[in-house]
């Protein structure tokens, strides 16, 4: 079945008011507001950005969408879950402080801000799905009490999955820390001593202190390693290695199944917006700004996470003139899409409908 994906051209330098108007226009096409009643609990799921990174979706870009939702219910809020790796987003107190520093405050948004999985990421419930990789998905508890969910996704490349878009923000982003660990648990990283600069950054991000510094190189203790993959993300010299074919396949399939669990639990009352603005090789978890891999393209919206991610990839690769996402990490990014379609999460066949 062909899914509809709505698209409006936009650029970061359009300014916050125009971007807010454009985001609202495509959001209205998703039909999500039809599911929102006066007493509905509605979450706007977003990545609040990491320290030093400015690629995240800006609060002022969302003013039109927020106004539209508040016209239906006063029980809306902005949210994210805590990270598996250590840092400012691994507990709710520091996470909320960082969100506030990036402008995500009740005063700026007109909405409260809530961390969905409790103080340290342990508040979760399970959704039984009985799929090939996941039997029960461990979801941040707040998400399972919603009447509707809007995922606001900054589309970027990603070292583990080729790209991060709707499926990743939903599947990985709405999981509790236990759920994130389950999705990463088959990764087996190791360090190439010839490339390691012994900078120590990976030690700061390792949640189990599995990495130590030896003379000339960092070393991963396989017995302590939980396979979270954060060392892969933060290693700039590319010294952390893994089995691209099998490890990426398992992570992407688990991520798609977690996304399915959310759509199943919420009876598909879920909408997605992909912002193809400031598209970089790495995700917003990187604690610094990175160069763009393509020029700004626009904003997409759809109730189908598979279709919107497929459309986003096509637009980005068309603009770059090659498969720029695969060129970044040699990862087969299509795994998450093909598996998502297979399990009934959505369709890779889409109709792109441009609006102005």
Q: What is the pLDDT of residues 209-226, one digit of tens each?
A: 999 999 889 999 988 887
Do 59 and 84 lie in one domain? The reply is yes
Q: Of all residues in the chain, what percent carry a pLDDT higher than 70?
A: 97
**Cα 304 versus chain centre, distance:** 15
Give me the mean pLDDT over the 312-323 stretch. 96
* Predicted confidence (pLDDT) at residue 244 exceeds the cutoff of 60: no
What pLDDT was estimated at residue 137? 97
pTM of the model: 0.86
Contact 31, 3 (CB under 8 A): no
Q: What is the pLDDT of residues 257-276, one digit of tens each?
A: 999 999 999 999 999 999 99
| Nearest C-alpha neighbor of 275 from the set 74, 90, 27 | 27
* Cα separation, 150 vs 274, whole angstroms: 11
Q: Are residues 200 and 345 in the same domain?
A: no
**Same domain flag for 101 and 223:** no
Nearest CA-CA partner of 310 in 345, 273, 337, 328: 337
Query: According to the model, what pLDDT value does residue 174 have?
Result: 97
Closest CA to 290 of 233, 252, 232: 233
Confidence at 246, pLDDT banded by 50, 70, 90: low
Residues 125 and 158 in one domain: yes
Instruction: Name residue, tokens 């009740």.
Output: 106
Q: What local confidence, expressed as pLDDT, does residue 243 receive?
A: 59
Asked if 146 and 268 touch (Cβ cutoff 8 Å), the reply is no
Query: Which residues form the domain of 236?
Result: 190-241
Lowest mean pLDDT among 20-29, 233-242, 292-301: 233-242
The answer to whether residues 234 and 265 belong to one domain is no
302 with 335, same domain? yes
Domain co-membership, 148 together with 195: no
Question: Between residues 12 and 204, which one has the greater pLDDT?
Answer: 12
Q: Are 81 and 174 in contact (CB under 8 A)?
A: yes
Residue 223, judged by CB atoms within 10 A of its CB (0-12, 13-18, 19+), counts as exposed
- 130: CATH: 3.40.50.11440
User: Based on the domain organization, do 194 and 296 belong to the same domain?
Assistant: no
277 and 344 assigned to the same domain: yes
The fraction of the chain above a pLDDT of 90, given in percent, is: 75
**Phi, psi dihedrals of residue 224, rounded to the nearest 5°:** -90, -25
Name, in order, each residue with C-beta under 8 angstroms of 202's C-beta and a sequence gap of 6 or more.
Answer: 211, 218, 230, 231, 234, 235, 240
Within a 10 A sphere around the Cβ of 15, how many other Cβ atoms? Answer: 12
Does 199 lie in the same domain as 164?
no
CATH number of the domain where residue 221 is located:
3.30.70.20
Number of domains in the chain: 2
C-beta atoms surrounding 221 within 10 Å: 12
Question: What are the distances in angstroms from CA 168 to CA 70, 109, 148, 254?
Answer: 26, 24, 18, 10
Q: What is the mean pLDDT of residues 200-214?
A: 90
Under the banding of pLDDT at 50, 70 and 90, the label for residue 19 is very high
Closest CA to 274 of 155, 148, 150, 149: 155
Three-class SS of residue 265?
helix
What pLDDT is stored for residue 196 in this prediction?
A: 95
Asked if 104 and 127 touch (Cβ cutoff 8 Å), the reply is: no
Residue 111, pLDDT score: 97
Give the confidence band of 242 by pLDDT, cuts at 50, 70, 90: low
Place of tokens 């379609």: 341
Residue where a domain stops, chosen among 241, 263, 279: 241
Whether residue 267 sits in one domain with residue 307:
yes
pLDDT (mean) for 79-96? 89
């Amino acid at each position: 079945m062909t899914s509809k994906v709505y698209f409006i051209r936009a650029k970061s330098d359009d300014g916050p008011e125009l971007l807010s108007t454009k985001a609202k226009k495509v959001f209205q096409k998703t039909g999500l507001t039809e599911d929102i009643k006066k007493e509905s609990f509605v979450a706007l799921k977003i990545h609040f950005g990491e320290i030093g990174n400015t690629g995240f979706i800006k609060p002022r870009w969302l003013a039109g969408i927020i106004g539209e939702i508040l016209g239906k219910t006063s029980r809306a809020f902005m949210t994210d879950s805590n990270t598996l790796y250590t840092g400012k987003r691994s507990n709710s107190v520091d996470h909320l402080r960082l969100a506030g520093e990036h402008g995500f405050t009740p005063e700026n948004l007109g909405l409260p801000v809530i961390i969905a999985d409790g103080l340290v990421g342990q508040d979760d419930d399970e959704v039984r799905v009985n799929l090939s990789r996941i039997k029960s998905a461990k979801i941040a508890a707040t998400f399972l009490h919603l009447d509707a969910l809007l995922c606001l996704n900054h589309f970027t490349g990603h070292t583990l999955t080729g790209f991060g878009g709707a499926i990743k923000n939903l599947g990985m982003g709405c999981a509790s820390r236990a759920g994130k660990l389950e999705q990463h648990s088959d990764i087996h990283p190791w360090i190439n001593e010839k490339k390691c600069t012994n900078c120590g950054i990976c030690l700061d991000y390792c949640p189990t202190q599995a990495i130590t510094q030896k003379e000339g190189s960092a070393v991963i203790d396989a017995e302590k390693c939980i396979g979270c993959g954060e060392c892969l993300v933060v290693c700039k010299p590319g010294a952390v290695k893994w089995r691209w074919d099998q490890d990426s396949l398992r992570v992407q399939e688990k991520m798609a199944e977690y996304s399915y669990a959310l759509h199943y639990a919420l009876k598909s009352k879920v909408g997605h917006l992909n912002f193809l603005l400031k598209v970089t090789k790495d995700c917003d978890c990187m604690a610094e700004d990175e160069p763009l891999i393509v020029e700004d393209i626009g904003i997409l919206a759809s109730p189908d996470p598979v279709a919107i991610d497929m459309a986003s990839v096509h637009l980005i690769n068309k603009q770059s003139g090659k498969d720029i996402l695969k060129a970044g990490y040699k990862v087969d990014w299509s795994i998450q899409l093909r598996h998502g379609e297979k399990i009934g999460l959505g369709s890779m066949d889409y109709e792109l409908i441009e609006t102005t």
